[in-house]
Amino acid sequence: MLKQRTLKTAFLYAVLFLVALYFIAPLYVMLVASFKTLTEIRNSSIIALPSEWTLDAWKKAWDGACTGMECTGIKPYFIATFEIAVPSVILAILFGSLNGYVMAKWRTKAADFLFAALLIGSFIPLQLFLIPLAITLRELDIFGTTVGLILIHTVYGIPLTTMLFRNYYVNIPDELVKAAIMDGAGFFKIFFNIILPLSPSILMVSVILVFAGVYNDFLFALTFGETGKKPIMAAVQNIVSSSYGVKEYNLNIAAVMISALPTLLLFLVAGRFFVRGLTQGAVKG
């Protein structure tokens, strides 16, 4: 009986371990390759450890890799992405939390209607927005600029943040708000003094989700990115696909690794917020 149990447990762990290999393999392959020299990449198996560890590829990918005549590495794109992401995150959360507050605590037919419009609308594929978006940005004279991308990410981040905050605020007892109204507190006072202090965890969730969304965005980056200051995902794809006579795999892989680091670290540090946001907020309507 006991033996059978041990066997079962061993089998269970064996399966879990095998599955873990599938998930680890790509990251492992990229990591070891990024520490190899180009010659070694060509002559050794992709799973072999580097015989000589080198950081050259990482350094060059960061500030020395070329596209065309520019040899700036991915550093400027990295910075540009943060210039876009930080304001977008702040704005989307600001609007989202206020929307959520109104929709959860000052319910009107119109607010319910708007919520439904946002919720259903967020299922429309982004491709449908590209052409009118280009026209709108042109009319505002912010096409191909950082401001343009901030606007885009704020606009399309609002449905997500609104949903997150609304669903969170619905669970705050209405009595709290009613009591505050009795005390003569106004609309904003209630929001800032009562609602917001109760929201640190949902704020965290929103920051992470919106940031990851903006940072990992490719479609808008590709279409509306500023000349020479493309957001990271478009830039990385550009670097990887362009090449001098010989493709420098280690360099490309290092560039991809660097571009993956921020969200990866965020996940490792604050993974539980990641998970909570995706599992609880996003869809439960």
Partner 1 sequence: MKFVQKSVLVAISTVMLSSVAAVADSDVSHNWNAENEVAAMKVFRDKYEALGGEWKETTFPDTEQSISSTKTRIIGGKPPMALQSTLGGTMLEFAEGGLLQNMNDVAANDGWEEKLSPGLPAVAKYEGNYVAAPVFLDVINWMYTNNEVLKSAGIDAPETFDDFIASLPVLQEKGFIPIAVGGQSWQEAILFDHIILGVGGAELYDAVMSGDEGAVASPLMLKVFEQMGNLRQYTDEGKSGRSWNDTNTLMVSGKAAYFFMGPWAAGGYSDLGAEGGKWSCRVTPWSNGLTAVADGFQFIAVDSEDDKKAQALFAQAVMDKDTQIAAAKAKGTLPAVKGAKEEDFEGCPAKAVAAMQVRQTVTHWNGRKADIGNAVKDTVTAYWNSEMSAAAGHAALIAAMK
Partner 2 sequence: MAWLVLLPCAVVALYFIWGFGAYTVFLSFTKSSFLPNHQVVGFAQFAALFDDPRWWVAYRNMFIFGGLYLFSCVIMGIVLAILLDRVTVGETIFRTLYLYPMSLSLVVTGLAWQWLLNPTSGVQQIMRDSGFEDFAFNWLASQDYAIFTIVFAAVWHGTGLIMILFLSGIKSVDGEIWKAARIDRVPTWRVYFNIILPQLRTTLLTAVMLLGFQVVRSFDIVVALTNGGPGFASDVPARYVFEYFFQRGKIGQGAAGAVIMVATMIMIVLPYLIFEVRRKD
- If one asks whether residue 196 binds partner 1 (CB under 8 A), the answer comes out as yes
Query: Which among 76-84, 167-175, 195-203, 233-241 is the span making contact with partner 2, rule CB under 8 A?
Result: 233-241
Q: Which among 161, 254, 283 is positioned nearest to 210, based on CA atoms?
A: 161
- Which neighbouring-strand residues pair with 229? 226
Is 121 one of the binding residues for partner 1 (CB under 8 A)? no
Q: Is 190 in the site for partner 2 (CB under 8 A)?
A: no
Sole residue written with tokens 């026209």: 135
The CA angle 8-13-19, to the nearest 5 degrees, is: 130
Identify the three-state secondary structure at position 185: coil
By C-beta, is 42 or 107 nearer to partner 1? 42
Q: In this structure, are residues 162 and 100 in contact, taking their beta carbons and an 8 Å threshold?
A: yes
Partner from partner 1, partner 2, none binding residue 271, C-beta < 5-8 Å depending on class: partner 2
Binding to partner 2 in span 58-97, by CB under 8 A: 95
Contacts to partner 1 from residues 235-264, by CB under 8 A: 238, 241-247
| 7 interacts with, out of partner 2, partner 1, none, CB within 5 to 8 A per kind | none
Q: How far is the CB of 186 from partner 2 (least distance, A)?
A: 8
DSSP secondary structure, 106-156, as one string:
S--HHHHHHHHHHHHHTTS-GGGGHHHHHHHHHHTT-TTSHHHHHHHHHHH
14 near partner 2, rule: CB under 8 A: no
Which 245-264 residues touch partner 2, going by CB under 8 A?
A: 249, 252-253, 256, 259-260, 263-264
Binding to partner 1 (CB under 8 A): which residues in 130-189? 131, 134-135, 137-138, 141-147, 150
3-state secondary structure of 218: coil
Q: Is residue 30 a contact point for partner 1 (CB under 8 A)?
A: no
Give the SS3 label for residue 164.
helix
Our finding on whether 10 is near partner 2 (CB under 8 A) is: no
- Assess 228 for contact with partner 2 (CB under 8 A): no
- CA separation for the pair 93, 155 (Å, rounded): 11
Say if residue 53 is exposed, middle or buried (CB neighbours under 10 Å; 0-12, 13-18, 19+): exposed
Which one of 24, 71, 176, 179 is in contact with partner 2 (CB under 8 A)? 24
Identify residues 33-52 at the interface with partner 2 (CB under 8 A).
33, 45-47
Cα gap 146→14, rounded to integer Å = 49
Question: What is the contact surface with partner 1 in residues (CB under 8 A)?
Answer: 42, 66-70, 83, 86-87, 90-91, 94, 131, 134-135, 137-138, 141-147, 150, 192, 196, 223-224, 227-228, 238, 241-247
